[in-house]
Amino acid sequence: APGSMSGSGPEAAQPGQAAEAGLQEAEQDWAAAKAFYDNLVSKRPRPPKPQHAITVAVSSRALFDLVEERRIYEEQGVEKYVEYQQENENVTLKPGPAFHFVKALEHVNARLLELYPDDEERFDIVLMTNNHAQVGVRLINSINHYGLTIERFCMTGGKSPIGYLTAYLTNLYLSADSEKVQEAIEAGIASATMFTANKDVAYSDTQLRVAFDGDAVLFSDESEQIVKEQGLDRFFEHEQLNENKPLAQGPLKGFLEDLGKLQKKFYAKNERLNCPIRTFLVTARSAASSGARVLKTLRSWGLEIDEALFLAGAPKGPILVKIRPHIFFDDQMFHIEGAQKLGTIAAHVPYGIAQKYHKPA
């Protein structure tokens, strides 16, 4: 009808044309930047384009231990906090909960560059922080001290970084701020709140190890809703009836997919037995009663998981001690707390019905 918003006239085509023009301009910008860098001699690999990279954005409080600095900020205000950081900019920050994970990502990158020197499909780690730029020197000094390759910084001076996460085409956002993580999840970005382990453990230097919970992490919370609202027996019945119907995807499915893509690059070079990435499913489901649907869902997505552990309600902490993942993603805080106590670095995914029952502190 005349005047309606849907139509097939010239106006209807404009948004699509504008988006296409924007993409062409972005491609031209990248081509110009590449040409500039290609003329510079450097041993450092050039950061990949966001369209090709697996971008992992990490906050400064996830990467480093900033507990004391945070206390100064909360008790004395932002000016004293900035002053303290500037006075201590030559004092190296201690590792935070995401530190070993980032180191493992960089090891994978090094292996990828050996096998595929010209390929841009690798991890790009971005420091995404609402810190003020004046704090940047201490962060840079600490990153250089540990030999980390973090070239992209986004320091938003107290503003929310969520818009920048979208602009960077972020595949995973890790922060110590649960409100920012919730905001990112609501914006459709895979995100988790990092928690430091209560014990020091040794992590693999040669293999990135990532453990995922199933429901409300890799998969939707459809099944958890039935458990919470109708009980366990109804849940088992529902899962067996729907065994051949794939579960809907959850917030971290895309990141497992990214890891799988990189694993296949190693397999293609006959490196399956020496692959620097290993993935784990650690779920409270029981295998016999509700495991088939999970495995068939992964198969329908074309995804492999290296190890699947069905715990039938047993605590996850002791199993995670054996796995020693660099990061463990779960949607339920009691699993996060149990993992923490036994030395696992855990990341809370604030998604699904479980958040109504247990809000993170």
Q: Which of 29, 38, 119, 213 is catalytic?
A: 213
Q: How far apart are CA 232 and CA 236, in angstroms?
A: 6
SS3 at position 259: helix
Contact 114, 269 (CB under 8 A): no
| Alpha-carbon gap, residue 361 to 316, rounded angstroms | 21
Contacts of 148 (CB under 8 A, 6+ apart): 102, 103, 106, 125
User: Is residue 299 within 8 Å of 272, Cβ to Cβ?
Assistant: no
CA 312 to chain centre: 26
d(CA 234, CA 238): 6
CA-based torsion, 34, 39, 40, 43: positive or negative? positive
Contacts of residue 111, Cβ cutoff 8 Å, sequence gap at least 6:
266, 276
Q: Give dist(CA 175, CA 193) in Å, integer.
A: 5
Q: Which two tokens stand for residue 265?
A: 């690059």
Question: Is the dihedral angle over the CA atoms 282, 285, 289, 291 positive or is it negative?
Answer: negative
Phi then psi dihedrals of residue 43, to 5 deg = -85, -15
CB-neighbour burial class of residue 241 (10 A; exposed 0-12, middle 13-18, buried 19+): exposed
* Radius of gyration of the chain, Cα coordinates, nearest whole angstrom: 22
> Residue 48 phi/psi, 5° resolution?
-75, 160
213 catalytic residue (yes or no): yes
Residue 124: which H helix or E strand, with range? strand 123-129
**Looking at residue 208, what DSSP letter applies?**
E
- The CA-based dihedral angle spanning residues 267, 268, 269, 272, taken in that order and rounded to the nearest 10 degrees: 10
Would you call 347 exposed, middle or buried from its count of C-beta atoms within 10 A (0-12, 13-18, 19+)?
A: buried
As annotated, the active-site residues are: 213
